[in-house]
Homo-oligomer: A and B are copies of this chain.
Amino acid sequence: MPSNDHISRQFDAELEAIRANVLQMGGLVESQIKSAVESLISGDVALMTRVIEDDHRVNALEVKIDEACSQVIARRQPTAGDLRLVMTVVKTITDLERIGDEAEKIARMAKLLSQKSALNLPRYHEIKHAADLALDMLRKSLDAFARLDVALAAQVVRQDDQVDEEFRAIMRYLITFMMEDPRTISTSLEILFVAKAIERIGDHAKNMAEYVVYMVKGRDVRHVTVDEIEREVQK
């Protein structure tokens, strides 16, 4: 029979493997968003197709990590901080998977847009800027998860307002664009949905950051204000 010490080392290794898988999934999702936005701007149809086809890899990681979490719970009966880690992972990968879906949606919109005349297209400058912000939030929330950094997590929560503001600015811009030339309405709506997908990515990154605070502090901060979270972080 293995010793308790041996079991405990194995348990730690299993938790470590789960954490590493989450970060791997995060990296994949990050590159999916980057490629999707890049393909939109460059009009690279092969890249759009690759993003759409690669979404199944994100999904497969979610299922794999979910199973690993259930197994660890059933076999190791984690409590306290270990259990909070597992529950955080279960929630985090749901958001990561949905960010993956948004990347796929952006790639699909990019395909539709690439078939249209470039003459009537508004520029993508603002879209790129909003996407960079959302990507920054995603990267920080993954870092906060990896390093148990609640201060960084609180920063992500605050950043979400910026992404929302970018979205509203893009919407105002597109409204003007459509009013000046109603023939661009259909195209503008596709770009609006790209912006909406980016705004959603920010929302998901914010959710992930909130789970990190819960994991570390053991307090659920999902439905409190940013100020309260920052007070919590300073404790």
> Chain A 161-188, CB within 8 Å of chain B: the 1/0 string?
0000000000100010011001101100
Interface presence of A52 (CB below 8 A): no
- State the CA gap A56–B223 with chains docked (Å): 8
Interface presence of A91 (CB below 8 A): yes
User: In the assembled complex, which residues on chain B have CB atoms less than 8 Å from the CB atom of A186?
Assistant: 175
- Which of B70, B84, B182 interacts with A178 by CB under 8 Å? B182
Interface presence of A28 (CB below 8 A): no
| Given A59-B223, A74-B83, A171-B189 contact (CB < 8 Å) | yes
- State the CA gap A183–B175 with chains docked (Å): 10
Interface presence of A148 (CB below 8 A): no
User: In the assembled complex, which residues on chain B have CB atoms less than 8 Å from the CB atom of A222?
Assistant: 59, 62-63
- State the CA gap A78–B73 with chains docked (Å): 8
> Chain A 67-106, CB within 8 Å of chain B: the 1/0 string?
1011001100111100110010011001000000000000
User: In the assembled complex, which residues on chain B have CB atoms less than 8 Å from the CB atom of A62?
Assistant: 222-223
Interface presence of A60 (CB below 8 A): yes
- Which of B94, B175, B182 interacts with A189 by CB under 8 Å? B175
Would you call A185 and B179 a contact (CB within 8 A)?
A: yes
User: In the assembled complex, which residues on chain B have CB atoms less than 8 Å from the CB atom of A63?
Assistant: 220, 222-223
Would you call B60 and A83 a contact (CB within 8 A)?
A: no
- State the CA gap A34–B196 with chains docked (Å): 24
Distance in Å: Cβ of A229 to nearest Cβ of chain B: 14
> Chain A 46-66, CB within 8 Å of chain B: the 1/0 string?
000000000010011011001
- State the CA gap A59–B87 with chains docked (Å): 18
- State the CA gap A185–B178 with chains docked (Å): 8
Interface residues of A (CB under 8 A from B): 56, 59-60, 62-63, 66-67, 69-70, 73-74, 77-80, 83-84, 87, 90-91, 94, 171, 175, 178-179, 182-183, 185-186, 189, 192, 196, 220, 222-223
Known: A70-B83, A175-B185, A175-B186; 20 extra A-B contacts, CB below 8 A, are A56-B223, A59-B222, A59-B223, A60-B223, A63-B220, A63-B222, A63-B223, A67-B220, A69-B87, A70-B84, A70-B87, A74-B77, A74-B80, A87-B90, A171-B189, A179-B182, A179-B185, A185-B185, A189-B192, A196-B196
